Amino acid sequence: MTTSSLLVELFVEELPPKALQQLGQSFASVLFEQLQAQGLTTTASAVTPFASPRRLAAHVTAVLSRAEDRAVQHKLMPVKVGLDAQGQATPALLKKLQSLGADASVVPQLDRVSDGKAETLFLKGVAAGVTLAAGLQRALDESLSRLPIPKVMTYQPETDMPMPGWSSVQFVRPAHGLVALHGTQVVPVQALGLQAGAITHGHRFEALQDPITLTDADAYASSLANLGAVIASFADRRAEIVRQLDAAAQRVGGGVRPVDDPALLDEVTALVERPHVLVCEFEPAFLEVPQECLILTMKANQKYFPLLDAQGRLTHRFLVVSNIRPDDASAVIGGNERVVRPRLADARFFFDQDRKKTLASRVEGLAKVVYHNKLGTQAERSERVCAIANLIARQLPTTADESSLRRVQDVARLAKTDLLTDMVGEFPELQGIMGGYYARHDGLGDDVAQAIEDHYRPRFAGDDLPRNDLGLVAALADKLETLVGMFGIGNLPSGDKDPFALRRHALGVLRMLIERDLPLDIGPLLQSAFEVFGARITGDQANALQALTDFLSDRLAGLLREQGYSAQEIDAVLSLRPQRLGEVRRRLDAVRAFAALPQAAALAAANKRITNILKKADQVEGAVQAALLQEPAEQALHQVMSTLTPQADQQWARGDYTTSLQTLAALREPVDAFFEHVMVNAEQAELRRNRLVLLQQLHQAMNRVADLSRLAS
């Protein structure tokens, strides 16, 4: 059976740029998946996605014109239902066969398959392979129905083709053309009120030929490039933009480089069909404005690529990715330079106006900004952040002195005041950053300014932590206030919905506690934070506290899995609910080293056995009475424990968890001997209690670092 390449293209009006790459990938992958499922592809088949501002397309190699016939087996019914006592077909069986296009003549050929309890009748047959036209229609329908469309439009189709029920069409953007080519032949499929053909369109202004008649599926990309002035592949177009950006930066010289922003690069790739990078500039006087403001306005509003020098400082030049290539680009360059000036002037105006008021003078205004209808205003929130920050700072050696405590309060009190500035009102992404600039202008010192800027950190996965201890305290207090407040009022994340970014806040708290190894116990810290809210939390605080504790534990487990620890190792450590999270990774490393010892498996199994014994026993307390140790095995275990346990405890107290567990590994032989020769549940109550106390002490000694029973397979 012959194969040819298949090309499917949907020509539409300008697609949403932020969704284009995902739309293109989904369209191609689902189409290929559906063709594959119907047997229309081969092992040599491969799919290439195409996505430009006005098209979604997929090119699939080695596609069959018709799928191969395949053997099928139809399950009919139990033998006792399908055949009578004489072995003749019952009416029920005849009716079933008729529905499958067979008759009574096939009854002798029916297979009987037993499942051990009853026999079932099966009919073997051959299913005709689907034609490409029918299979592609199903694949195309499925691909369109599964597109991750951000928002659907409803419009009237262009054609008057006889399609009952097509009074309107719903799609991401109005569709104007459909191409379906198998080699050189058009495949008769339809979608969105359009019949497939071989005609597409190129660049709106620079196409050498329009419309373009495609002669072969394999000529799609080259035809669009040569005749339509369009780079159809999203990946190729992106790579071409990167190449041109780097080349333009080299022409400018001085070691400048375009700002690194993959999201901006993806968006610009989705906006142009024929990229052409041009160098523009603005007046150097604008560089007096903080560069974050200028960079953001150029990226967000104009989709420009600012140029940075070798030290990462903004220059007065920027790059524009144009969608046209005129012989004289001066008009395009001049137009973009005229457009950017008012944007930069606005940023300078906001910056100048904001500096006329100090951050301290804005504190009162926070009382007029609602944070949450159940949690009050931003002023109330700032008071809570101040209280939590004070609790944290008093427990840290570097911030416990009175001078540091005052500065912590300054940071916590002023951290949200830049929300009231014109600059942050225009560019919310700059909150914190502008607070740092304004704090320096107010003469508050670099450490306070830096802390105000950093109190949102880490903003995202992999982001840096706050640079100084003031910022660390403020960031921890700010995130805890958000988490406790939202959990306190029952506003928990659900599924993919997390409007207050509680998962991100939780990971930020965990990273700060772990990576800075802060001497803070997580349980009392959360309890104190809940107490700060007072009457604002009207529900069951105990349940809310437990829910938040579990939430943080789940996030911690996920974070540790990403760092390469196994689920078993994590379970062994976190099941003990360690309070100092800075110790968790050391405990995990100790567990991993212990698990590699030859004694580990036996001790883990014994520990699991001890755990089960103690669960069934009454509460046992007190010390082991040496006089009641009758069996040599229990005497030997007690003697070894008397030597090793103090050593292991000292090592544990120093935080040397690995050595502590390795010390206890020497207990394997006496523990094995104990369980082999000693009856724990002795008939005499005193003996039984004494042995249980011995096991409890052993259990406590072995499980200080982690619950070793969780390592038992």
* 458: preceding bond cis by omega (within 30 degrees): yes
Q: Do residue 375 and residue 458 come from a single domain? A: yes
Within 13 Å of residue 357, how many CA atoms lie on the same side as its CB?
18
Q: Do residue 457 and residue 539 come from a single domain? A: yes
The pLDDT of 653-679, averaged and rounded, is: 90
Q: Do residue 23 and residue 155 come from a single domain? A: yes
Q: Do residue 614 and residue 670 come from a single domain? A: yes
Q: Do residue 77 and residue 141 come from a single domain? A: no
In DSSP terms, 213 is beta-bridged to 199
By three-state DSSP, how is residue 171 classified? strand
Distance spanning both ends of the chain, measured CA to CA: 53
% residues pLDDT > 70 (the chain): 98
Burial of 252 (0-12, 13-18, 19+ CB in 10 A): middle
Let me know: does 474 contact 465? Beta carbons within 8 Å.
no
Full domain range(s) for residue 106:
70-127
Query: What is the distance between the alpha carbons of residues 68 and 40, in angstroms, rounded to a whole number?
Result: 8
Query: What is the distance between the alpha carbons of residues 430 and 297, in angstroms, rounded to a whole number?
Result: 11
Within 13 Å of residue 298, how many CA atoms lie on the same side as its CB?
31
Query: What is the distance between the alpha carbons of residues 5 and 545, in angstroms, rounded to a whole number?
Result: 60
Query: What is the distance between the alpha carbons of residues 669 and 556, in angstroms, rounded to a whole number?
Result: 36
Tell me which of 564, 592, 622 is where a domain ends.
Answer: 564
- Describe the crossing of helices 330-354 and 291-302 by its angle, rounded to 10 degrees: 130
Query: What is the distance between the alpha carbons of residues 36 and 58, in angstroms, rounded to a whole number?
Result: 14
Residue 360: inside a domain:
no
Residue 362: inside a domain:
no
Total number of domains in the chain: 5
Q: Do residue 589 and residue 640 come from a single domain? A: yes
DSSP 83: B
* Closest C-alpha to 180, from 128, 143, 151, 146: 143
Alpha-carbon distance values, 645 to 590, 651, 652, 700, 704 (Å): 17, 10, 10, 10, 11
Q: Where does the pLDDT of residue 159 fall: very low under 50, low under 70, confident under 90, or very high at 90 and above? A: low
* Closest C-alpha to 602, from 659, 666, 657, 663: 666
Residue 577: inside a domain:
no
* 211: preceding bond cis by omega (within 30 degrees): yes
The pLDDT of 554-579, averaged and rounded, is: 95
SS (H, E, C) 172-228: CCCEEEEEEEECCEECCCEECCEECECEECCCCCCCCCCCEECCCHHHHHHHHHHHC
- CATH number of the domain to which 509 belongs: 1.10.3210
Which amino acid, 119?
E
Tell me which of 227, 261, 285 is where a domain ends.
Answer: 227
The pLDDT of 322-346, averaged and rounded, is: 94
Q: Where does the pLDDT of residue 626 fall: very low under 50, low under 70, confident under 90, or very high at 90 and above? A: confident
Q: Do residue 257 and residue 186 come from a single domain? A: no
Q: Which two tokens stand for residue 98?
A: 């008729």
Let me know: does 319 contact 311? Beta carbons within 8 Å.
no
Query: What is the distance between the alpha carbons of residues 454 and 494, in angstroms, rounded to a whole number?
Result: 28
Residue 657: inside a domain:
yes
Between 499 and 435, the more confident residue is 435
Residue 359: inside a domain:
no
Q: pTM for this one?
A: 0.80
Q: Do residue 158 and residue 266 come from a single domain? A: no
Q: Where does the pLDDT of residue 160 fall: very low under 50, low under 70, confident under 90, or very high at 90 and above? A: very low
Per residue in 448-461, pLDDT (tens digit) is 999 999 999 999 88
Q: Do residue 216 and residue 239 come from a single domain? A: no
- CATH number of the domain to which 697 belongs: 1.10.730.10
Alpha helices (runs of H) in 38-181, residue ranges in sequence order:
79-82, 91-99, 132-145
Residue 277: inside a domain:
yes
Tell me which of 196, 227, 258 is where a domain ends.
Answer: 227
Q: Which two tokens stand for residue 647?
A: 């050593």
Q: Do residue 373 and residue 506 come from a single domain? A: yes
* Closest C-alpha to 268, from 317, 320, 228: 320
In which order are the strands placed within the sheet that holds 305-308?
257-258, 305-308, 314-322, 276-281
Residue 578: inside a domain:
no
Cβ–Cβ contacts within 10 Å for residue 589, how many?
15
Per residue in 244-285, pLDDT (tens digit) is 999 999 999 999 999 999 999 999 999 999 999 999 999 999
* Closest C-alpha to 38, from 71, 3, 67, 4: 67
Q: Do residue 588 and residue 684 come from a single domain? A: yes
Q: Where does the pLDDT of residue 183 fall: very low under 50, low under 70, confident under 90, or very high at 90 and above? A: very high
Residue 571: inside a domain:
no
Q: Do residue 315 and residue 412 come from a single domain? A: no
Q: Where does the pLDDT of residue 289 fall: very low under 50, low under 70, confident under 90, or very high at 90 and above? A: very high
Q: Where does the pLDDT of residue 240 fall: very low under 50, low under 70, confident under 90, or very high at 90 and above? A: very high
